[in-house]
Amino acid sequence: MDVVCFDDLDEFGRDLDDPLEELWQDVVHMLFESFGTNADAPDRSIALEDALSGPLDPGLRHRIETKLTDDPRIDAAQATMTDEGNGITRIELKLQANQTELGVTLTFDGAGNVTRVL
């Protein structure tokens, strides 16, 4: 039995059935889950909010790319991190999956709060 949450469902409450939607959902989970909170894969979490709630970790970009490409559905991952000043960090993600490019830009304030830009 799978446990599902609101982000596991489409706008009509149905389980997702599109492989790219499922992948994107899993990417979001990887990015934001705290370490060890996913019972299926406790070591897959990146925990961005935790990582960005203090000084910028110089190894974070590499950790993001490595964790994402550990997923066999993702062929390539590129993370670009920019310090925008005033404690704001911008992260641009580009993923290559099944010859499709996915991307998102996120900004985080000094407390680790996130805003999706694109």
**pLDDT tops 50 at residue 90:** yes
Q: Quick one: DSSP state of residue 94?
A: E
Which range has highest mean pLDDT (11-15, 34-38, 46-50)? 46-50
- What fold is seen in the domain 6-116? Nuclear Transport Factor 2; Chain: A, (3.10.450)
Q: What is the mean pLDDT of residues 60-66?
A: 94
Does the pTM surpass 0.85? The reply is no
What is the mean pLDDT of the segment spanning 32-46? Answer: 81
**Mean pLDDT on 55-79:** 92
Q: What's residue 43's pLDDT?
A: 82
Q: 101 forms bridges with which residues in the sheet?
A: 96
User: At residue 38, does pLDDT exceed 60?
Assistant: yes
What's the CA gap between 51 and 107, in Å, rounded? Answer: 13
